[in-house]
Amino acid sequence: QDASCRAVSWELRQTLTVVYESYYSSQGKKDWSLFKMFSRTITEACPLASQSNIYVDISAKDKEKELLEVTPSPTSLHEAIVQGEKRTYAVYDLLSPSLFNTSRSLNVQLKWKQPPDSLELLTPILHAHRYVSGYGLQTGKISTLIYNTHPYRAFPVILLESVPWYLRLYVHTLTIITKGKENKPS
């Protein structure tokens, strides 16, 4: 607490770094937003924080610069050299009073404007998403979500899981849920 370091004090620093493959999780669309990724927006900065920023990497190749749009407008832009490459970041200062003026929430969005001659990648009819959540034998889970995007046809599915050696599976805890209802596997 003092310059001579004779009194003890505590300091808390929290940092969240997220690497999120939004292209695959948003079914082939390059657009993303905080709401799409986390199912919520930011309503305020931490009241105890002396600084709170969101950095969005908006670096793009020369031809892509005019196709990239980030909303709302960032508080500032920051340029840095990362591994010899120039990167541009949109900076959102959550302590800036003007950021929450128009609404009580912040939903940072990145949109790619489609040029007229480009073709949108088609989402596959059947695709899967697998993730591990929790930890240990009590709360650990492996979830596999299988999506059928066909408008009316159902498909039989055979699922083969490769499970890491350190996980114990208990078959009696297997649940299969389709449209909110539990199914029995055949």
User: Which pTM was predicted?
Assistant: 0.51
Average pLDDT over residues 92-104: 79
* Rounded CA separation 140/173 (Å): 11
pLDDT digits (tens, 9 = 90+) for 36-51: 887 888 888 888 888 8
pLDDT of residue 167: 73
For residue 177, pLDDT beyond 60 = yes
Q: What per-residue confidence (pLDDT) applies to 24?
A: 47
Cα 138 to Cα 136: distance, rounded to the nearest angstrom: 6
Specify whether the CB–CB gap between 114 and 66 falls below 8 A. Answer: no
Q: What is the mean pLDDT of the chain?
A: 78
What pLDDT, in 10s, does the model give residues 148-167? 888 788 888 888 888 777 77
- Secondary structure class of 143 (helix, strand, coil): strand
DSSP track, 69-123: EEES--SEEEEEEETTEEEEEEEEETT-GGGGSS-S-B--EEEEPPPTT--PPPP
80 has a pLDDT exceeding 50: yes
Most confident of 26-35, 42-51, 94-103: 42-51
Instruction: Give pLDDT tens digits for 115-148.
Output: 545 555 567 888 888 888 888 777 888 888 888 8
pLDDT at 65 > cutoff 70: no
Q: What is the pLDDT of residue 21?
A: 61
Measured over the CA atoms of residue 128, residue 124, residue 58 and residue 107, the dihedral's sign is: negative
- Which residues, 6 or more positions from 36, have their beta carbon under 8 angstroms from its beta carbon? 22, 26
CA 105 to chain centre: 17
